[in-house]
Amino acid sequence: MKFKKRLLVLLTTITGIVSLCVFVTLMLTPPDFQKTWENFQSITQEKWQDGVAMGSTLNSWLYESTNGHWPLNQDGDSQDPSFLLPGSKLDLVQYYHLNVSLPDGSFQLQSPLSKKQIDSINDSKKLPWEKSDLSPSKNPWSENTNEPESIVPLVRPSKKSPTRKARAAFISLVRNEELKGIIQSMKELEEKFNSKFNYPWIFFNDKEFTKDFKEMTQAATKAKCQYVTLDPKDWLEPDWIDTEKALRLNNKMSSKNHVQYAAMASYHRMCRWNSGPFYTNPALKDYDYYWRVEPNVHYYCSIDYDVFAYMQDNNKDYGFTVNVYDSPHTIKSLWPTTVSFFKQHPEYMHPNSSRQWLLQKSRKDHNDYTGGYSTCHFWSNFEIGRLDFFRSKQYQEYFNYLDSEGGFFYERWGDAPVHSIALGLMTDKSRIHWFKDIGYNHLPYSNCPKSKKCKGCVAGKFSPWSDLDTENCIQEWFKVAGTG
């Protein structure tokens, strides 16, 4: 009897030791790292709808998986989730493996990474799905430019039957005294595109439009025109802005740093309005897409397909033509403010974002001055956008957070970097489209494709002044997103 008991104890002990060895072996054997990230990417992609974050991103589910307590680092300190945020190191990834453990996408922390894996990540400064360089093998402006590829046939103009139209409009924030300039822009865009598709125009002004303005703009198009006078609460400085402080800082910015328009209150108001209040204006409630038009711009190429329908059919959030660097003196605190916001809302970051474009360091002095931001941005005087992206809870919360910090008035935060940062972090980079086939000019920069449909510009010429060629950031965009 005693022998049987001893044998049972011995077998139990051996079983326990074997189980412990198997457990330790599994814990010390890291799963395939690339496959782990691919699994993460594929599962999280399913949690996104229409390019807006609806599920959890890496930061948020790490937070959830530890019940709100970040894992301790080697010094015993709780680690910050900022490794996915601009300019920060990959703290969590350095010490922990992530493994998909449940089919519903739940995650758990696994064994520490090997030194080789840590070094590989730190050397590349990229997460595994962020490929090193997607630049085209040939100069995009040296080859004939065709219309964009579409997952469904492009919508063409038709005289025989009405063509399907998107819920879209041209929009322009313009003053009465800019009538001549906006007429020029309208005539070129009507000739090149809208005479074939007849999309409406909506004009915005903080003052009442004059009779001459209304009559002459309506005469420039067969499409319907609408004229909107802005509500002062959407246009003027919010109550929390110290206008005397703003005036003092703006004069200093203008005189010391030679920042263009810094001393113009109307310019600050325009940047703020284009960044936030514009998207919720009642005049746009029946529209899904907009095309922004400014006075004194040029359109060089005939556009023979419905651009708005292309955006809709191909699930695009945003379209641009010109991609440039900004003046870092205008946005010194924009990036730190952005980082602060996304630390509070890491779930708003898209796993397939174009954040590396926002972080690249081809102009390190810009990164240093702004706290990490490259200053690359889509030049928003031309932009075609999906309104629901900017109306979304995520974007509106981001704008409201920026607005509360006062940078639109205490600095000169522009709508272009605000749009670009939001898009660069919040949406899939495949939903941002470079309209390489649309020839466009707003002095001093142009986009001019090589095409028989284009007249009046030189293919590939970015600016009439060669010393401004260094302001072009499109090559950095290609590295991250390609030419799509």
pLDDT, tens digit, for every residue of 354-368?
999 999 999 999 999
Q: Would you say 409 and 357 are in contact if contact means Cβ atoms under 8 Å apart?
A: no
Give the confidence band of 154 by pLDDT, cuts at 50, 70, 90: very high
**In angstroms, what CA-CA distances link 329 with 160, 357, 401, 433?**
54, 19, 21, 28
Mean pLDDT over 440-451 rounds to: 97
Predicted confidence at residue 385, as pLDDT, reads: 98
Segment among 56-70, 130-144, 202-216 with least mean pLDDT: 56-70
pLDDT digit string, tens, across residues 254-271: 998 898 999 999 999 999
Predicted confidence at residue 308, as pLDDT, reads: 98
Question: Which CATH number, 3.30.450.20, 3.40.605.10, 3.10.20.30, 3.90.550.10, labels domain 168-481?
Answer: 3.90.550.10
Mean pLDDT over 420-434 rounds to: 97
DSSP 3-state assignment of 313? helix
Q: What is the mean pLDDT of the chain?
A: 82
pLDDT digit string, tens, across residues 46-61: 333 332 232 333 444 3
Predicted confidence at residue 35, as pLDDT, reads: 46
Q: Would you say 448 and 458 are in contact if contact means Cβ atoms under 8 Å apart?
A: yes
Mean pLDDT over 426-454 rounds to: 97
Predicted confidence at residue 39, as pLDDT, reads: 47
- The pTM of the full predicted model, rounded to 2 decimals, is 0.78
Task: Take residue 475 and report the two structure tokens written for it.
Answer: 């090559």
Mean pLDDT over 5-32 rounds to: 56
Q: Is 306 left (phi over 0), alpha (psi -120 to 50) or beta?
A: beta
Q: Which residues are catalytic?
A: 383
Mean pLDDT over 315-331 rounds to: 97
Give the separation between CA 435 and CA 117, rounded to whole angstroms.
39
Q: Is the pLDDT of residue 87 over 50?
A: no
Residues 6+ apart with CB under 8 A from 211: none
- In sequence order, the β-bridge partners of residue 386 are 289
pLDDT digit string, tens, across residues 371-426: 999 999 999 999 999 999 999 999 999 999 999 999 999 999 999 999 999 999 99
Give the confidence band of 160 by pLDDT, cuts at 50, 70, 90: confident
Give the separation between CA 305 and CA 110, rounded to whole angstroms.
51
Q: Is the pLDDT of residue 124 over 80?
A: no
Q: Is the pLDDT of residue 110 over 80?
A: no
**Where are the strands (E) in 144-294, listed by range?**
168-173, 201-205, 225-229, 289-292
pLDDT digit string, tens, across residues 277-305: 999 999 999 999 999 999 999 999 999 99
pLDDT digit string, tens, across residues 226-237: 999 999 999 999
Predicted confidence at residue 7, as pLDDT, reads: 60
Give the confidence band of 163 by pLDDT, cuts at 50, 70, 90: confident
Predicted confidence at residue 126, as pLDDT, reads: 52
Give the separation between CA 129 and CA 271, rounded to whole angstroms.
34
Residues 6+ apart with CB under 8 A from 303: 192, 193, 437, 438, 453
Mean pLDDT over 22-42 rounds to: 45
Mean pLDDT over 110-137 rounds to: 58
Q: Is the pLDDT of residue 240 over 90?
A: yes
Q: What percentage of the chain has pLDDT greater than the value 90? A: 67
Predicted confidence at residue 192, as pLDDT, reads: 98
Mean pLDDT over 459-471 rounds to: 96
Predicted confidence at residue 351, as pLDDT, reads: 87
Predicted confidence at residue 41, as pLDDT, reads: 42
Q: Is the pLDDT of residue 319 over 60?
A: yes
Task: Take residue 240 and report the two structure tokens written for it.
Answer: 């929390």
Residue, of 321 and 38, whose pLDDT is higher:
321
Give the confidence band of 465 by pLDDT, cuts at 50, 70, 90: very high
Predicted confidence at residue 276, as pLDDT, reads: 97
Predicted confidence at residue 82, as pLDDT, reads: 36
Q: Of the spans 137-151, 254-268, 426-440, which averages the highest pLDDT? A: 426-440
Segment among 102-116, 166-180, 461-475 with least mean pLDDT: 102-116
